[in-house]
Amino acid sequence: MTAVPVIAIDGPSASGKGTVAQLVAEKLGFHYLDSGALYRLVALAAMRAGVPLDGDERLASVAASLEARFEAGEPVTGAIRDEACSIGASKVAAWPGVRSALLGRQRAFRRSPGLVAEGRDMGSVVFPDSGLKVFLTATVEARAERRYKQLKGKGITATLSILLQDLRERDARDAARSVAPLKQCPDARFLDTTAMSATEAAQRILAWYRGGE
Ligand code: DC
């Protein structure tokens, strides 16, 4: 039996990996997993239930009982995308109990004909046997600019310098944690999208997947 193929796309916040991963999934007719959304949902559920973000046990049970159903193309609520939730997600993601509670839920997305999964540890922990692993990044300035435009487009007021600082703090937290830190896998391809559109980045990944350069 051949395993269902997985393309793992990991990288820092606001690198554009969500848009790129969705384009690749669409092109191949594959399923799509936005693993960051699960961490965001845990943060949102915890904040709403008054569970502090600085303890593993209660957060892990929030994660285990999460009622989350995602379908490709389904619009995600605004609440999990706001800055408070972005910061909260990065905090809850540092707890090992939360990460292991979400493991099975993420692996369940691996269904025929294939999966494009994006996050921080898709290639290293969740789908280590992925056929293609990509580390997708861009400079922190380019990422802050993209997030700024994205928020503005949604009518949300934001300050570029604050977004830049939030991103730097989140990068540091995601890279410094002891479980599944954000880092490039030795077997991942590096893709810097600072000077690239999402379509160009998706084309590059598709070419790698199809065996071209
Ligand atoms: O990709 P994102 O910005 O939506 O992710 C939100 C937070 O969740 C991010 O700060 C780190 C965490 N995360 C993680 O630790 N592992 C993943 N696979 C995906 C996200």
- pLDDT single digits (tens) 172-201: 888 888 887 788 889 999 999 999 999 999
Q: Ligand 1 within 6 A of 167 CB?
A: no
Whole-number mean pLDDT of the chain?
A: 90
Nearest CA owner, ligand 1 atom 5: 36
Q: Ligand 1 within 6 A of 5 CB?
A: no
Hey, which CATH number is domain 6-209, 3.40.50.300, 3.40.50.10860, 3.50.50.60, 3.20.20.20? 3.40.50.300
Q: Ligand 1 within 6 A of 147 CB?
A: no
Residues paired with residue 7 on neighbouring β-strands, in sequence order: 116, 132
Q: Ligand 1 within 6 A of 93 CB?
A: yes
Buried b (16+ CB within 10 A) or exposed e, 82-99: beebbebbbbbbbbebbb
* Higher-pLDDT residue of 150, 195: 195
Instruction: State residue 69's pLDDT score.
Output: 47
Q: Could you state, in order of their start, the residue ranges of all structural domains in the chain?
A: 6-209
The answer to whether 205 touches 21, Cβ cutoff 8 Å, is: no
Alpha carbons 74 and 95: distance in angstroms, whole number: 28
Give the atom of ligand 1 at the shortest distance from the alpha carbon of 118: 18
Place of tokens 């905090």: 91
Instruction: State residue 173's pLDDT score.
Output: 85
211, two tokens: 């065996």
Instruction: State residue 150's pLDDT score.
Output: 84
Instruction: State residue 72's pLDDT score.
Output: 47
Give the atom of ligand 1 at the shortest distance from the alpha carbon of 94: 15
| Whole-prediction pTM | 0.90
The HSE-up count of residue 192 (CA atoms within 13 Å, CB side) is: 6
64 contacts: CB under 8 Å, gap ≥ 6 = 101
Task: Flag whether pLDDT at 99 surpasses 60.
Answer: yes
Alpha carbons 70 and 111: distance in angstroms, whole number: 14
Instruction: State residue 68's pLDDT score.
Output: 52
Instruction: State residue 213's pLDDT score.
Output: 56
Alpha carbons 82 and 89: distance in angstroms, whole number: 11
Task: Flag whether pLDDT at 32 surpasses 80.
Answer: yes
- CA of 12 from ligand 1 middle (Å) equals 8
Nearest CA owner, ligand 1 atom 10: 90
The answer to whether 40 touches 92, Cβ cutoff 8 Å, is: no
pLDDT average, residue stretch 2-18 = 92
Q: Ligand 1 within 6 A of 89 CB?
A: yes
- CA of 210 from ligand 1 middle (Å) equals 28
Instruction: State residue 70's pLDDT score.
Output: 45
Alpha carbons 156 and 152: distance in angstroms, whole number: 5
Lowest mean pLDDT among 43-57, 72-86, 146-160: 72-86
pLDDT digits (tens, 9 = 90+) for 54-75: 888 899 999 998 865 444 444 5
Q: Ligand 1 within 6 A of 166 CB?
A: no
Alpha carbons 170 and 197: distance in angstroms, whole number: 24
Instruction: State residue 80's pLDDT score.
Output: 86
Task: Flag whether pLDDT at 112 surpasses 50.
Answer: yes
